[in-house]
Structure 1
């Protein structure tokens, strides 16, 4: 699963990396401990609309958008459902009522500098931080949805609510030492196909991307044990990414299996 991650890069840098237009309106902030229900940066690609709301079928625009983490299905009675839908299994998203419509038409990328996962041991949980060795952003496959209440007497949601979920897959290679699931990370070569708003969920190019990441992609990742400070959402700073001293790790992983490529 993916329940915490770091999102540090400035929107201008993300816009350049993902070839997108920054539409976050200054709302994005560096966050070393992104948790469910927070506002997060997503990359979406849509047909632009004219003043009357009609989409232009001949062109698309890729933008960075702020949404809330935890997908609220369009048919939900209230937004509390989102707290239980921070992740969607890639193997079953096409058949789940909460996710199938979004998989068909509202796919997104969720940029991350790295994600946290907890290795469960006897009477303890050791957090690990996983990231690309070269500092590139991870592109986690996501789905987004628009929700608006049928009745809103207090006008709490005048513009509705846009939310998102992170797709997960079976953990690959050494990552399985920590947890049996991982975010569905997509390489840059897959971004266009995933974001294409005109490609239905059953298109070959889309279904192929729902498989676990390749071993080549995983080989580019580095893992390190980090402080349990990340366990609390109140903690937020670069110290959360610092590697834990070996003597403080109760059940070290087989680190020889985790050596990524030389970043040079």
Structure 2
């Protein structure tokens, strides 16, 4: 199981627009209980003037890739090495995005079993993962895809998993997506130096294990 391989976005559209200062409506927005790799996910990019919310396919397909199936292996990128990797270096410079969420799932090993947990921020509902995006085009086939950056776990997450997604503090979101070209190592250090926000978690049922299950039962606390 990838780190940050599933998450939720249950907020109302208006709350998302307000939280992230977006003026364009989100086409065909639907709250989601079990967002999975390979699906279209809500991301925010900046053109230097304003922020725009749109759907990107989760699973990065670099613009030089021969086969778009590579995306299934690239749902996450390690922040520590992203500035060194051909797939991510150019994106760290100029193709950074926010991936909108309100909780994520992680599976904690419990003997031979893995117990799913729903993890969210203690003090605010909506947040953004740090993401990277790219555009792949061959003939008339085009994909705009993204990946979620991960890092070493904080004290809270280390009890659950050996990696965690990078969650941007509210006042650092614009710094991450501003349009200017940046040094990829500077952006790596920016992410690794972010303060940790307090997290909370509770156990949910194995219903969430199946990516086809996308209903309220996914987030019900385990009895």
Pick the TM interval, shorter chain: over 0.9
Q: How does 1:76-95 map to 2 (within 5 A)?
A: 76-95=65-84
Consecutive unaligned residues in structure 1, runs of 5 or more:
48-59, 246-264
Deviating beyond 6 angstroms after TM superposition, the runs of 4 or more aligned structure 1 residues are: none
Higher strand share: 2
> 1:71 aligned to 2:72?
no
Question: Structure 2 vs 1, CA of residues 212 and 114 (structure 1 numbering), >3 Å: closer, same or farther?
Answer: farther
Q: How does 1:1-264 map to 2 (within 5 A)?
A: 1-22=3-24, 24-26=26-28, 28-47=29-48, 60-149=49-138, 152=139, 155=140, 157=141, 160-202=142-184, 204=186, 206-211=187-192, 213-215=194-196, 217=197, 219=198, 221-245=199-223
Relative contact order higher in (CA < 8 Å, ≥ 6 apart) = 2
TM-score (norm 1): 0.79
- SS of 1:92's partner is helix
Give 1:173 shift: 0.8
Describe the superposition over 1:140-192 as per-residue Cα deviations: whole angstroms up to 9, x where unpaired.
0000100101xx3xx4x2xx210000000111012111101010001011111
TM-score (norm 2): 0.93
Structure possessing the higher radius of gyration over alpha carbons: 1
Consecutive unaligned residues in structure 2, runs of 5 or more:
none
Give 1:138 shift: 2.0
Give 1:7 shift: 1.3
How many residue pairs align between the two structures? 221
RMSD across aligned C-alpha pairs, in angstroms?
1.6
